[in-house]
Amino acid sequence: MIRLTIDGLPVEVEEGSTLMEAAKKLDIHIPTLCFHPDQDVKANCRICLVELEGNKLLVPACSYPAENGMSIRTHSPKVRRARRNILELILARHAQDCLHCDRSGTCELQAVAEEMHFVKIPRYPYVARSDESDNSSPSIVRNAAKCINCGRCEYACSQVQTVHALSKVGRGFEVQFRPAYGRTLAESICVNCGQCVQACPTGALTIRDDTQVVWHAFAVPEKLVVAQVAPAVRITLAEALGEPPGSISTGRMVSAMKRVGFHKVFDTDFTADLTIMEEGTELLGRIKSGGVLPMVTSCCPAWIKFCETFYPDLLPNLSTCKSPQQMFGALLKTYYAEKTGKKPEDILSVSVMPCTAKKFEETRPELGRNGMRDVDAVVTAQELARMIRSAGIRFDTLPDTPFDAPFGLGTGAGEIFGSTGGVMEAALRTVYEVVTGKPLENLDIKAVRGLEGVKEASVEMNGMSVKVAVTNGLSNARKIMDLVRAGKADYHFIEIMACPGGCIGGGGNPIKNNAKMKPRLDAVYRLDRELPLRKSHENPAVKALYEEYLGEPNGHRSHALLHTGYVNRSGLLG
């Protein structure tokens, strides 16, 4: 332990701690921009400068090591002048359109300017970093004029996700973080996961907004605007509206959506249960018939594009099941349209998702029929929160409203799809009982739970040991898939989610750091425990759908509606 003084207050910290870490022990806040608690220290914005008393040096608190006997000042006149000058220089390169920026109110640069009470006109002339705006992606918008060159997006893309779609391009005044070779995001190897959006402190990277499509449909009398809501959204929506992380708002969420204008609000937990029926049957079929193993989950569209790009030789390992979003869309435009007497073209199928990659998924040409998409618009948790605020709805006082029938009933197994390990746990709950004919003694399969990057488990079923693996974050997916490619992965089934933590860490959720993930994860399993049904194959609405319309899992009709194929995208690497 070493001892130092910060703003006249003594503090003791472990050797190797930074000045910022020491200041936090005293609850002294030091402003930052390039620093992110879940990334390596970069120390390139210099907003966090502090003064070393004695030699009067200014040093970055995020990277400078605390030393025994050191005395520092965090807001001396010299520090304040330096920080304000740095802020002026940043603002002189940053677009001045805060009033109509998507990140207004959650922008870290805006927050630092307010904290430093920066109200004067900068002394330096405004010179835009670039006027380039990339709107090519269905998921992410890049606005170079709002970039502050912090490097957080590149770290998330390259180090956390190992996609390397963003890199530092140019030199000096012309530096940008963008796809290489002059490509747009749509032309690049971007998998649309949105982790760069989560990392960006400003509006340089934002979610492509689809809310106007929905607002317009509300005003068309013949349109039936139908929404499905993903499991994670009922946990992250309240957070996006100002409540603590992990706040569950299922009933209030449905109430708000009805007031906004949605005619029907359904639960994607329903098709998560349906996915388990299809995927579990597919897995058992592969095991019995000598099919391609290990089978890998196909619920996550960012993971699917990652596999199509970097592991096209392993596409046969992917389950052919559509994601729950796309299964829902297919049923809305067929079964539900027939049941209600509506033409498919008169139904606007809207998905409310925690995920930016779902916006890419709904544009895939194979996920539709007769020239129509199964899902017409994807609205993220952030976008739905904006819709609720713009409608003047006070979310915290709303009553609870149930989901609509016939797709309003989901189980705990469908609910846990929102977290890493959830798909695997839900599948094992059903597959075990199908194989053994006996109920699983303990439905909480804790070996596949948690935020660790790679988890393994083995479940005994009638003398056969079914080996499984679970990963979250694409850098961890790469580790597992390299083993599969090398023939060293002794697994039957692998679950992969692109985002750290799974869907509760998705790019369309409120801006996160690792500290918010544990409350979100706890909320997932709290919901699972509280639901009356916790196994997908016991969902009576799913049983009724098979009896009335689909026939049997992996049967002719269900395969035609609920399964798909994949595309080799390795050409994007060239």
Can you point out the beta strands (E) in 85-194? 133-134, 140-143, 167-169, 176-178
Contact 249, 346 (CB under 8 A): no
Residue 542 in tokens = 């799913």
Residue 282 is among the residues annotated as catalytic for this protein: yes
Query: Among the options 319, 323, 349, 419, which is catalytic?
Result: 319
Contacts of 374 (CB under 8 A, 6+ apart): 326, 329, 330, 332, 333, 349, 362, 367, 368
Residue 512 is among the residues annotated as catalytic for this protein: no
CA neighbor of 493 nearest in space, from 314, 318, 307, 327: 318
Query: Among the options 101, 147, 196, 299, which is catalytic?
Result: 299
Contacts of 182 (CB under 8 A, 6+ apart): none
Contacts of 378 (CB under 8 A, 6+ apart): 210, 325, 350, 351, 352, 353, 358, 359, 361, 362
Question: Cα(62)–Cα(20) distance, rounded to whole angstroms?
Answer: 5
Residue 304 in tokens = 């699917």
Query: Among the options 67, 366, 460, 530, which is catalytic?
Result: 366
DSSP code for 209: P
Residue 63 is among the residues annotated as catalytic for this protein: no
Query: Among the options 279, 362, 383, 495, which is catalytic?
Result: 279
Which residues does residue 330 pair with via DSSP β-bridges, in sequence order? none
DSSP code for 66: P
Contact 194, 166 (CB under 8 A): no
DSSP code for 93: T
Work out whether the CA dihedral 116, 119, 123, 127 comes out positive or negative.
positive
* Coil/strand/helix, residue 152: helix
C-alpha 98 chain-centroid distance? 25
Query: Among the options 154, 278, 282, 308, which is catalytic?
Result: 282
Q: At residue 194, what are phi and psi to the nearest 5 degrees?
A: 80, 10
Residue 133 is among the residues annotated as catalytic for this protein: no
Burial tier of 530 (Cβ tally within 10 Å: 0-12, 13-18, 19+): exposed
Query: Among the options 45, 62, 200, 503, which is catalytic?
Result: 503
Residue 107 is among the residues annotated as catalytic for this protein: no
Residue 319 is among the residues annotated as catalytic for this protein: yes
C-alpha 266 chain-centroid distance? 21
Residue 361 is among the residues annotated as catalytic for this protein: yes
* Coil/strand/helix, residue 2: strand
Work out whether the CA dihedral 270, 272, 275, 281 comes out positive or negative.
negative
N- to C-terminal Cα distance for the chain? 52
Contacts of 459 (CB under 8 A, 6+ apart): 428, 432, 445, 465, 466, 468
Query: Among the options 51, 361, 362, 415, which is catalytic?
Result: 361
List, by residue number, the catalytic residues.
Answer: 279, 282, 299, 319, 358, 361, 366, 503
